Structure 1
Amino acid sequence: MKRVSFAEFGGPDVLRLVDAEEPHTGPGQIRVAVRAAGVNPVDWRIREGQFQEVTPIDLPAGVGQDAAGVVDEIGDGVDGIEVGDHVFGEGTSTYAEFAVLSAWARMPVGLTFEEAAGYPSVVETALRILREAEVRPGQTLLVSGASGGVGSAVLQIARDRGIAVIGIAGAANQDYLRGLGALATTYGEGWGQRVRQLGHVDAALDLAGSGVVGELVELTGDPRRVISIADLGAPEFGVRFSGVAGSVPDALAEAADLISRRKLHIPVEKSYSLTEAAQAHADSQAGHTRGRRVVVV
């Protein structure tokens, strides 16, 4: 089968489309014929070797953890799923023709494979950081990097829970944020004051890693009310860096429910082929994403 792989850490150019042996399921796993794989910042952070001291990987290694596809192999101990079912979920080396998933859910009716591939990690992350921020209905949440996949999910889930949101994003994405129910403002000189003019901030999320953690602490008045998923230096400000996933099956089940109730929709900004994986990573690293990027198999 074909799989995107890298044999050394580095920039997008280290990615190669190679021939690889097909993976097979272990207990509690399923295998899918991949139709689309989500592109996440963690993918290129791993490719750069940023997490080697925490969770080392052996090279060469595959890329990707999110996928949507058709079940074609079922491991021991797995119930409630059949060969031929359409699912989305998390696994390993998902930029490939076949991938093994360790967590999954059936795709909601009406969702395309491309759309479905953009949800798993994004929704798990959004649910986790909302929980960790301890933001409650009636309070106001500030989100930096609000137009990307996680931001799009946070804004919609928060609105469903009765939480007001102020979103920070580039000028081109202001209307997009307002369409998701957020008050919106841009980065640049005076952004903190613009946020203050929009309202009191009870908690804040740093999703972009753009060097704003210190200002987020000032706006909330308490580093314990700020969570970052993108700035590895956040702990220097007393801010929690959230990088350990919670229950992915529970998150997928909640994602399916939100999608089915039309409370959550994350658009696919751009699709790439397996041969364009390096460009997908370069575009993801450049930021300014509106929604999701996916690799189509």
Structure 2
Amino acid sequence: MPEAYGFTAYGGPETQRFLDLPKPVPGPDELLVEVRAAGVNPVDWKVRAGMHRAFLHLDLPAVLGREVAGVVEQLGDRVDGFAIGDPVFGTSARGCGGYSRFALLTADQAALKPATVSFTDAAVLPVAAGTAYDGVGQLTLTGGERLLILGIGGGVGVAAAQLARDTGVSVVGTAAAAKREFVESLGATAIDYDSPDFGAQLEKALPNGVDAVFDLVGGDALHGVSAVISPGCRILTVAEPETAARFGARPLSRRGSTRTLTELARRVADGRLDPQVRGVFRFEEAKAALREVEAGHPWGKVVLDMRGGL
């Protein structure tokens, strides 16, 4: 029986454990993958905590994990473009299931992994980098424009900064003071959101306002930067609808298509996009990996390396 790591009830980390479950069977539009690496994301502990129960219905016990990279083991009846033995990466089918020796991917949210991209790098692309790619695309940025990213130091913000930078956009982002050097290494200007002179720093960095805002923080974050929001500014936000409407912002929508994943992998392969994998844990360390993410780990992406044995 393949090993998996998941949770037996909604709640805190005490509900997590290793599970012996049957090997999944792919549906018509799914791939069964022998997992080599699985991304660890904040959404994973939020699923366990029950924060997504309204729209993600799971039978418990459930396996954690939204993104994987591995090798195709079996194909669903309607799957085209993939073959058994292909190295692939993508989004876990049915909402979760990535922390496992074998996992299911939805075919239209999976892509072939280039040989020059590692499994650990590929495994962290679908969620954060995929969200960043969709968001930057929706903002229709052009060279010479100014983009403000609220929450630039997180996984989505880090990828968005790199993607926007490569279009010739001037990127400014809000982040903790400890992340200043890291953010500036991405080619962006960092502003400490906890600084007492935050407003002055913001206006100094953006004396002519901004052309676009990518709000990854939500809450009152848009209110705090309203002084630099120019007329006609395009805004994407994760804030609640009332705040979004007040600023004329649009909600961020995800696609996560094969085309998006293929483009992200191409950018990693040619060096334009660094997935910023900073923490690689063995599968038996799944609890520690998720604990680091749930606590708000400070740097880069966290991955489970599934090649080691329990």
Q: TM-score, normalised by structure 1?
A: 0.89
Whether the aligned pair in 2 keeps the contact of 1:201 and 1:219 (CA below 8 Å) is: yes
Counterpart in the other structure of 2:87? 86
Matching of residues 19-168 of structure 1 within 5 Å: 19-91=20-92, 92-102=96-106, 103-168=109-174
Output the amino acid matched with 2:262.
A
Cα distance in 1 for partners of 2:13, 2:229 equals 36
Question: Structure 2 vs 1, CA of residues 173 and 293 (structure 1 numbering), >3 Å: closer, same or farther?
Answer: same
Output the amino acid matched with 2:10.
F
Output the amino acid matched with 2:202.
V
How many Å apart are 1:218 and its aligned residue?
A: 4.4
> Which structure has the bigger radius of gyration?
2
Whether the aligned pair in 1 keeps the contact of 2:117 and 2:265 (CA below 8 Å) is: no
Cα distance in 2 for partners of 1:219, 1:13 equals 45
Counterpart in the other structure of 2:199? 192
How many Å apart are 1:221 and its aligned residue?
A: 5.2
How many Å apart are 1:245 and its aligned residue?
A: 2.2
3-state DSSP class of the match of 2:210? coil
Is 1:169 the counterpart of 2:175 in the alignment? yes
Whether the aligned pair in 2 keeps the contact of 1:148 and 1:288 (CA below 8 Å) is: no
- The two structures, once aligned, show a CA RMSD in angstroms of 2.3
Cα distance in 1 for partners of 2:123, 2:148 equals 27
When the two structures are aligned, how many residues end up with a matched partner? 294
Cα distance in 2 for partners of 1:159, 1:111 equals 21
Whether the aligned pair in 2 keeps the contact of 1:39 and 1:281 (CA below 8 Å) is: yes
How many Å apart are 1:213 and its aligned residue?
A: 3.4
Question: Structure 2 vs 1, CA of residues 31 and 54 (structure 1 numbering), >3 Å: closer, same or farther?
Answer: closer
Cα distance in 2 for partners of 1:223, 1:20 equals 53
Whether the aligned pair in 2 keeps the contact of 1:143 and 1:167 (CA below 8 Å) is: yes
Which whole-Å deviations, capped at 9, do the CAs of 1:105-151 have from their partners, x for residues lacking one?
Answer: 22223222111111111222012222333443321111122123211
Whether the aligned pair in 2 keeps the contact of 1:217 and 1:223 (CA below 8 Å) is: no
How many Å apart are 1:183 and its aligned residue?
A: 1.2
3-state DSSP class of the match of 1:101? strand
How many Å apart are 1:34 and its aligned residue?
A: 0.6
Whether the aligned pair in 2 keeps the contact of 1:224 and 1:240 (CA below 8 Å) is: no
More moved, 283-292 vs 245-254: 283-292
Aligned partner (choices 211, 224, 231) of residue 202 of structure 1 = 211
Unaligned 5+ runs, structure 1: none
Cα distance in 2 for partners of 1:43, 1:113 equals 19
Output the amino acid matched with 2:129.
V
Is 1:272 the counterpart of 2:278 in the alignment? no
Q: Runs in 1 of length 4+ with deviation above 6 angstroms?
A: none
Question: Structure 2 vs 1, CA of residues 96 and 222 (structure 1 numbering), >3 Å: closer, same or farther?
Answer: farther
More moved, 155-164 vs 6-15: 6-15
Unaligned 5+ runs, structure 2: none
Cα distance in 1 for partners of 2:53, 2:123 equals 26
Cα distance in 2 for partners of 1:186, 1:76 equals 52
Percent of matched pairs sharing the same residue: 34
Output the amino acid matched with 2:71.
V
Cα distance in 1 for partners of 2:231, 2:51 equals 28
Which whole-Å deviations, capped at 9, do the CAs of 1:78-114 have from their partners, x for residues lacking one?
Answer: 2332222211111130010000111222222322211
3-state DSSP class of the match of 2:52? coil
Q: TM-score, normalised by structure 2?
A: 0.86
Question: Structure 2 vs 1, CA of residues 220 and 234 (structure 1 numbering), >3 Å: closer, same or farther?
Answer: farther
Whether the aligned pair in 2 keeps the contact of 1:71 and 1:85 (CA below 8 Å) is: yes
